[in-house]
Amino acid sequence: MLEITQNKLDVKSEYFFNLLQRIKERPGMYLGKRSIIRLRMLLDGYGMARMELGLPRTEQESKFDRFQEWIQAKFNITSSQGWDSIILFYSVDERDAFEKFLICINNLLAGRLPEVAYVCTPNSSESTPQFTQRIASRAELILGGTRKA
C-alpha cells in the first residue's frame, strides 16, 4: 500500500525567505527561467494572495519591504523605479539581474550596508565627510538602525 504524506504549511507563519530560498535552488520550477521580471511578478502575486486572504504581513515580509530602499541606496537612485527595474538596468540581461538580486537580498538579510561608494557621488555643495555621513546615515536607516561590517 502506498502511503502519501502531506506537508502542511501554516500560512500565517514566517514563510517568505523560505520561498526565496526554494526559488534560488530551483528557479526553473518557480519561474520557468532565471528572470528578475518573473521573480517580481511571482512575489507580487504572493503578496496579493496573502492580502486578499486577509493575512497579516509577517516580519520577513516587512524586512523585505526595506529591499527597495536598500537597492535605491546601492545604486544612488531617487526615482520611483522598482527594485527589479533598477537591478535590470545595471545588468547584462534578466539572468544576470536575477543573480544580482540573489546577492543583494543575501546582503540585506545579513545586515550589510549597500556598497554605495561605487555608484554614488557627492552633491556639488557637500564635502567628502558630509557625503560619507549622508550615505552611512541613509544606509543605517534602511537597515533599521543596525550596522554590520
Give the pLDDT score at 13.
63
User: What are the extents of the domains in the chain?
Assistant: 16-142
* pTM score, whole prediction: 0.69
Q: What is the mean pLDDT of the chain?
A: 80
Pick the closest to residue 90 from 43, 26, 36 (CA basis).
36
Helix axes of 36-52 and 94-109: crossing angle, nearest 10 degrees: 50
Query: Which residue reads 543573480 in cell numbers?
Result: 99
| The pLDDT value given to residue 118 | 43
* Residue 136 CA from chain centroid, whole number: 19
Task: Write down the pLDDT at residue 87.
Answer: 93
- Residue ranges of alpha helices (H) inside 1-149 are 16-25, 27-31, 36-52, 59-65, 67-74, 83-89, 94-109, 128-142
Q: What is the pLDDT of residues 109-145, one digit of tens each?
A: 888 777 753 444 555 566 667 766 766 665 555 555 5
More confident residue, 41 or 76: 41
pLDDT of residue 31: 96
